[in-house]
Amino acid sequence: MKSILLPTDFSDSAENALKYALYLAKKTGATLTLLNVTYPSPGNSTMHRNIRDILKNDSKKALIELESKIKIDPANEGVKVKTVSKYGTLNVQIQAVVQDLDIDLIVMGTHGATGLKELIFGSNTATVIEEVTDCPVLAVPYKAPLHELNKIVFATTYSFNNIEVLKELSAMADILGATIQILHVRTPKDSTKEAIVEEFKQKLKTEIPQGNFAFHEIEHEDVVEGLQQYVTAEKIDLLAMGTRKRGFFGSFINKSLTKTAAFHTNIPLLAFHDKQKI
């Protein structure tokens, strides 16, 4: 990992996400890019230009102050930091920066999010997860305390597309010194055959022979609630998922929205877009 992007609006949630971004930058030696995107409310063209100039100047000033704050902290010694100020739509500008700077990971905070439902719906982070497909997104809940990421769980349906994702995740885990548990939540409607499971495991072993994965399967009537129980019981530090379908996260947890039990967790979510192997 060579480059990490932290989109920030200078809020408390962005500040909490910054802690994770700095942690990962120190662990991997990656350059941390701080990005602020501004866009004014609708108005006449003259007013729009004036507001745009004010916002751009304020953005650059705030980024410089944040960069200085990071650099004067002895705990961040050796971390390479740069700043980028953009004007426009958030996800469009993030996508442009990801491509221009060859970003490997986006780290974003979520405003007040304490669970998967809150993490995914109605937030800028959700839009970025769905729209920016060139690199993974680490979504950090507002109240997630920073600590070592030693235990990672990857939620799988045994899709072969997950294997390319697991290559990336395995490389990250090696740097962090973390273990990866591959978890499948089997519901009453799950028709996955044992032959598929074994084929997935064999293919994973062939593709990532150095990988040290532990497979787990639990039964639960609801995937999200099953994940919740496992994450809590096993004291997982990071939940990772992969998808190559837009709208996946919405459909993934929509089944649980009508239930009283909510997915409450203070751990970050690492979202990948699956890459089909050609």
DSSP readout, the chain? --EEEEE--SSHHHHHHHHHHHHHHHHH-PEEEEEEEE-PPS--HHHHHHHHHHHHHHHHHHHHHHHHHHHTSGGGTT--EEEEEEES-HHHHHHHHHHHHT-SEEEEEETT--BHHHHHSSSHHHHHHHH--SS-EEEEETT-------EEEEE----TTHHHHHHHHHHHHHHHT-EEEEEEEE-TT----HHHHHHHHHHHHHH-TT--EEEEEEE-SSHHHHHHHHHHHHT-SEEEEE--STTHHHHHHHTTTTSS---B--S-EEEE------
CATH label, 3-141, candidates 3.90.1150.10, 3.40.640.10, 3.20.20.70, 3.40.50.620: 3.40.50.620
Q: Give yes or no for residue 113 having a pLDDT over 80.
A: no
12 vs 32, which has greater pLDDT? Answer: 32
Query: Are the folds of 3-141 and 151-272 the same?
Result: yes
Q: Give yes or no for residue 260 having a pLDDT over 60.
A: no
Q: Give yes or no for residue 207 having a pLDDT over 90.
A: yes
Report the pLDDT value the prediction gives residue 65, as an integer from 0 to 100.
97
Residue 214: CB partners within 8 Å, gap ≥ 6?
179, 180, 181, 182
Report the pLDDT value the prediction gives residue 259, as an integer from 0 to 100.
31
Ranges 79-88, 104-113, 213-222, 260-269: which has the least confidence:
260-269
pLDDT digits (tens, 9 = 90+) for 114-171: 555 455 444 677 778 878 888 999 988 888 889 899 999 999 989 898 999 999 999 9
Report the pLDDT value the prediction gives residue 49, as an integer from 0 to 100.
65
Ranges 80-94, 107-121, 201-215: which has the least confidence:
107-121
Mean pLDDT of 36-52: 69
Task: Give domain limits for the chain.
Answer: 3-141, 151-272
Output the average pLDDT for the chain. 84
Return d(Cα 143, Cα 265) in angstroms, integer: 9
Q: How confident is the model at residue 54 (pLDDT cuts 50, 70, 90)?
A: confident
Report the pLDDT value the prediction gives residue 41, as an integer from 0 to 100.
59
* % pLDDT > 90, the chain: 58
Report the pLDDT value the prediction gives residue 275, as an integer from 0 to 100.
62
Q: How confident is the model at residue 48 (pLDDT cuts 50, 70, 90)?
A: low
Q: Any idea which architecture 151-272 has in CATH?
A: 3-Layer(aba) Sandwich (3.40)
Report the pLDDT value the prediction gives residue 143, as an integer from 0 to 100.
81
